[in-house]
């Protein structure tokens, strides 16, 4: 049987850490050329790029913010000129901050919403336009169970991740007209830097109300992500799949 993503070209936002880095590696292992952007760490970017290339796949890394609309248009153009149009997009990049709503500052609110919500427009649109022209593509958005359940997480983070769900469902309807699918994964708590920014009380409770009794490994999510964006998953569209270790609802 062929690899899940043989011959595909993918872009992953926030590809140097946690879930993003795992997705880059698994997609490469499954046959895709992978480009990604990152915010600050050149060393981590070099490691992820080398890992992709170790599977015999092409890799490109861009130090550009996901909120930089001009920069993201340039990235999409450069990838297309080098490889051809992207046919898989993963909106993964996100930030979080432990805040109580009553004491959340304007700066904190704007930072979360700008990074987690406005980036959806900046990152998706240039690649979506390529997919429309090609009449094929798969978009995967990473959201959170905090957008679905009443958890003791930050209000601005939950709000931003709820927006990802609305974005997924509405864009899926429009994109289907062009042969493009749009789905999302609602992640529980995975062993990443982002998770460790969650309130301490939530982390302490986690192992008790999750039936698996532990945090997830980013590669566990990445394995499923590879199937979701593959041609073998041909009939799912506009769905939000929860991967949270079996949390009690």
The pTM score is 0.94
Q: What is the pLDDT of residue 151?
A: 75
Q: How do the domains of the chain map onto residue ranges?
A: 9-243
What's the CATH fold of domain 9-243?
A: Rossmann fold (3.40.50)
Report pLDDT for 114: 96
**Phi, psi angle pair for 143, to nearest 5°:** -115, -160
What is each CA distance from 5 to 53, 76, 136, in whole angstroms?
15, 20, 14
Residue 214 has a pLDDT of: 84
The set of catalytic residues is 157
Neighbours of 206 (CB within 10 A): 20
Instruction: State how far the Cα of 40 lies from the Cα of 86, in Å rounded to an integer.
Output: 24
pLDDT digit string (tens) for the chain, length 249 residues: 689 999 999 999 999 999 999 999 999 999 999 999 999 999 999 999 999 999 999 999 999 999 999 999 999 999 999 999 999 999 999 998 888 889 999 999 999 999 999 999 999 999 999 999 999 999 999 999 989 987 777 899 999 999 999 999 999 999 999 999 999 999 988 888 877 766 677 777 777 788 888 889 999 999 999 999 999 999 999 999 999 888 765
Give the 3-state secondary structure of 184-225: EEEECCECCCCHHHCCHHHHHHHHHHECCCCCECHHHHHHHH
């Amino acid at each position: 049987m062929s690899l899940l993503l043989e011959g595909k070209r993918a872009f992953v936002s926030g590809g140097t850490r946690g879930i993003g880095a795992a997705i880059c590696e698994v997609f490469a292992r499954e046959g895709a050329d992978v480009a990604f952007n990152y915010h600050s760490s050149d060393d981590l970017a070099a490691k992820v790029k080398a890992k992709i290339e170790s599977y015999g796949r092409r890799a490109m890394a861009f130090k550009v913010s996901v909120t930089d609309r001009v920069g993201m248009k340039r990235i999409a153009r450069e990838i297309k000129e080098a490889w051809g149009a992207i046919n898989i997009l993963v909106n993964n990049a996100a930030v979080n901050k432990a805040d109580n709503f009553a004491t959340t500052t304007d700066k904190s609110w704007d930072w979360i919403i700008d990074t987690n919500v406005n980036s959806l427009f900046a990152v998706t649109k240039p690649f979506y336009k390529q997919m429309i022209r090609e009449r094929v593509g798969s978009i995967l958005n990473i959201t959170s169970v905090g957008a679905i359940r009443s958890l003791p997480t930050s209000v601005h983070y939950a709000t931003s991740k709820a927006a990802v769900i609305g974005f997924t469902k509405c864009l899926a309807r429009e994109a289907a007209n062009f042969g493009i699918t749009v789905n999302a994964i609602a992640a529980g708590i995975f062993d990443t830097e982002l998770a460790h920014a969650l309130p301490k009380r939530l982390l302490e409770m986690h192992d008790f109300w999750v039936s698996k009794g532990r945090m997830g490994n980013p590669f566990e999510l990445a394995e499923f992500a590879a199937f979701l964006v593959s041609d073998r998953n041909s009939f799912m569209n506009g769905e939000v799949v929860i991967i949270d270790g079996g949390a009690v609802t």
